Amino acid sequence: MLSRVAESVFWLARYMERTIGLLRVLRTNYIASQDDTNGFSWKSVLQTYGYLQAGGIESIQYNSRKVLEYVMLDRDNDASLINNITRSRENARAVQDHIPKEVWQALNDYHHLIRETNIARLLRHGDPVFAFDILLKQGMCLHGTIDVSMARDEAYNYLNIGRYIERCIISIDVLLIHLKENSLDLSLSDDAPSWRYLLYSLSGYELYLKNNKGLLRASLVMEQLLHSPYFVHSISYCLLQAQRYFQRLREESSGESYQSVEFLLGKALNNVKYSVSGTNDTQAISNILLSTRKNIFEATHALDQNYFGI
């Protein structure tokens, strides 16, 4: 496959996964902010999904509507939702002849939806949850369209590598935000409401209740988010899926290029796989997450160099 096509579908998937992940984070944090009578701070979210200086963050961190407008609609914020959707559309446009017209149409609809005045109105004056749900529904529609219309060829493999790499990064970032905001002693935080919100933001609350009866326990939440082979947002699951789709490229790859990327993906997976999941040390968990994140970026850099010619 042409490196231009492979790169475009890879980044199309990453930007779309980033969009859905960001929407879930914002939706959950907004709901949590409504339950917090002491003043909910968006500082960690702004640090992760924005480029404001310390003074800019402090000026809006307790104003939910201004935060949502900045993170979702501000064109000057490189990490904003509208910029991610726009970049997805630009990548799709570049390979329009290589993707089904249904995928292009669903993505084009998403681009027009985020620009509707109704979305901005809901964020500024109405119910932001309604705006989140509209955008999430369209995102799910796009994911479904991709699954039922794209041929299972090389482009589909690159798309899924991008999807699961980005999903893994999102899960790591969400967990790091949670640990940073709460400064949790994992041994003392069972049944804390913040664990429930963490699971909500990664669509994992129902699965947790299904597998674990009784109180929310920090050690069990961490086990699900780090190691569960059945939870589609667990770090291990995402890395396994990225590795699985990359292995399908073996026949079309040169030996050295393939081995370089495969080694780095395996390194990231082993870093999580052999970590001690039962630890109550918040710093140890943070170190595992940060080192795994570094391994993932090393793998994507190798992919850029060896497969996309960047």
- Please tell me the distance from the alpha carbon of residue 194 to that of residue 186, in angstroms, as a whole number: 12
Q: What pLDDT does 179 receive?
A: 84
What count of Cα atoms within 13 Å lies in the side-chain half-sphere of residue 302?
17
Q: Does residue 150 sit in helix, strand or coil?
A: coil
Q: 101-114 and 81-94 helices cross at what angle (nearest 10)?
A: 150
Q: What pLDDT does 279 receive?
A: 54
Q: What pLDDT does 23 receive?
A: 97
Instruction: Name the residue among 77, 56, 87 with its Cα closest to residue 162.
Output: 87
Under 8 Å CB-to-CB from 76, ≥6 apart: which residues? none
The low-confidence residues of the chain, meaning pLDDT below 50, are none
Q: What pLDDT does 55 receive?
A: 94
pTM of full prediction above 0.85? yes
Q: What pLDDT does 4 receive?
A: 84
As a dihedral over the C-alpha atoms of residue 181, residue 183, residue 188, residue 192, rounded to 10 degrees, the angle is -10
Q: What pLDDT does 183 receive?
A: 63
114 near 85, Cβ under 8 Å?
yes
Q: What pLDDT does 249 receive?
A: 93
Could you tell me the two tokens for 71?
Answer: 């993170």
